[in-house]
Amino acid sequence: MQHYEARATIAKALGHPSRLLILEALAEKDMCVCELTELVPADQSTVSKHLAVLKHAGIVSVRKEGVKTYYRMKIQCLEGFWKCIESVLKQNLKDHRVALGA
């Protein structure tokens, strides 16, 4: 059962809109907390805590540069995953409309 705990930790870390927004930004390039704070509609302390969650799950890594802290995306699995998920959900919608005769 603890095999699933590790996976659940990853999934839970992905389970918040702000964190997904952060991850999509980090997929482009490393960013410091100050940049991410401008991006995310939330307090700096809140962003910092979201980043701690992602760090704890092993999804991002941290690098200090002077007074700034840069976060870096550590996994490349997300884009493909969401693409797969969304194509399935879109197909389901289509099937549903057909089933309704619409």
Partner DNA sequence: TGACTTTATGGTAATATTGCCATAGAGGCA
Partner DNA sequence: TGCCTCTATGGCAATATTACCATAAAGTCA
Which stretches of the chain bind a second copy, using CB under 8 A?
A: 1-2, 4-8, 10-12, 14-21, 41, 58, 74-77, 80-82, 84-85, 88-89, 92
The pair of three-digit structure tokens given for residue 3, joined into one six-digit string: 């095999």
Instruction: DSSP letter for 59, please.
Output: S
Q: Which is nearer to a second copy, 20 or 62 (CB)?
A: 20
- As measured in angstroms, the least distance from the Cβ of 64 to DNA is 7
Q: Which residue type, as a one-letter code, is found at position 68?
A: K
CA angle 6, 83, 36 (to 5 degrees): 70
Task: Count Cα atoms within 13 angstroms, Cβ side, for 55.
Answer: 14
66 binds, among DNA, a second copy, none (CB under 5 to 8 A by kind): DNA
Q: Which is nearer to a second copy, 26 or 67 (CB)?
A: 26
Q: Which residue type, as a one-letter code, is found at position 74?
A: K
Q: Are 39 and 80 in contact (CB under 8 A)?
A: no
CA 30 – CA 86 distance, rounded (Å)? 26
Residues 19-78 that bind DNA (CB under 7 A): 32-34, 37, 42-46, 48-53, 62, 66-70
- As measured in angstroms, the least distance from the Cβ of 46 to DNA is 4
The contact set with DNA (CB under 7 A) reads 12, 15-16, 18, 32-34, 37, 42-46, 48-53, 62, 66-70
